[in-house]
């Protein structure tokens, strides 16, 4: 599987492009901003879906433009729909006023255990509430895209609406730390790590 990472937007969200070379199918995870750069990188691919680890503004600002350009399906967890529907309000809440278009309607929602096919490859949806109630991670072939749930030696903040520190720790312990310790973890911001390293060295555990 082809895996591209581009840090986008003012908070440098890690946007991931996963593609199958044979079928030329792709998915985009967290199109947080810089839609033109994301679209440049997927030129020549058929983008099947835009997947969101959660719906904070820095993970979805580019969603509308990328979806309109590619025709890709927008997928979020239903517990984050209130965030999804208030993109401009989120910018105001964070003191970063910005003109943004309303997001396109979501026609299908993610749920725990869903399988998202990309050519011959499959991503599994793991619901990990805590950072937000709708936070999800995506697992495939020894790789975990953890969004803002698990970071290199850290975890996502839980002091925003919908955050819950006890749930986040439980999600990580029961849903992520049970994966193979060699699993490479790509967080929503910052550098990669592994499940084994975080089990052994993450100060929150």
Whether pLDDT at 97 is above 80: no
Using only the alpha carbons of the chain, give its radius of gyration: 16
Contact 137, 177 (CB under 8 A): no
pLDDT in tens, 25-37: 999 999 999 999 9
Q: How far apart are CA 87 and CA 94, in angstroms?
A: 11
Beta bridge partners of residue 125, listed in sequence order: 138
Those residues whose C-beta lies under 8 Å from the C-beta of residue 147, and which sit 6 or more positions away, are: 30, 53, 54, 59, 128, 131, 135, 136, 137, 156, 187, 188
Q: How many domains does the chain have?
A: 1
- 41-86 pLDDT, tens digit each: 999 999 999 999 999 999 999 999 999 999 999 999 999 999 999 9
- Euclidean distance between CA atoms 142 and 185, whole angstroms: 9
pLDDT-wise least confident of 98-102, 174-178, 193-197: 98-102
* Percent above pLDDT 70 for the chain: 100
Work out the mean pLDDT of the chain and round it to a whole number. Answer: 96
Q: Say how many C-beta atoms besides its own lie within 10 A of residue 1's C-beta.
A: 15
CATH of the domain at 60: 3.60.15.10
Give the residue numbers spanning the domain of 112. 2-201
**What pLDDT score does 99 carry?**
84
pLDDT at 94: 85
**11 Rama class: left (phi>0) / alpha (psi -120 to 50) / beta:** alpha
Percent share of the chain, pLDDT over 90: 93
């Amino acid at each position: 599987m082809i895996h591209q990472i581009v840090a986008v937007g003012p908070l440098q969200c890690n946007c991931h492009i996963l593609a199958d070379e044979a079928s030329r199918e792709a998915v985009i995870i967290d199109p947080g901003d810089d839609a033109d750069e994301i679209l440049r990188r997927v030129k020549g691919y058929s983008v099947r879906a835009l997947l969101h680890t959660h719906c904070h503004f820095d993970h979805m600002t580019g969603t509308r433009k990328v979806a309109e350009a590619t025709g890709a399906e927008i997928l979020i967890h239903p517990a984050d729909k209130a965030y999804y529907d208030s993109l401009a309000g989120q910018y105001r809440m964070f003191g970063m006023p910005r003109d943004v278009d309303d997001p396109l309607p979501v026609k299908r929602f993610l749920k725990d255990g869903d399988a998202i096919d990309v050519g011959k490859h499959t991503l599994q949806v793991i619901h990990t509430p805590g950072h937000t109630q709708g936070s999800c991670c995506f697992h495939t072939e020894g790789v975990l895209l953890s969004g803002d749930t698990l970071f290199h030696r850290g975890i996502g903040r839980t002091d925003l609406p919908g955050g819950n520190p006890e749930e986040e720790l439980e999600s990580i312990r029961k849903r992520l730390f049970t994966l193979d310790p060699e699993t490479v973890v790509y967080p929503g911001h910052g550098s990669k790590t592994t499940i084994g390293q975080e089990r052994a060295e993450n100060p929150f555990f």
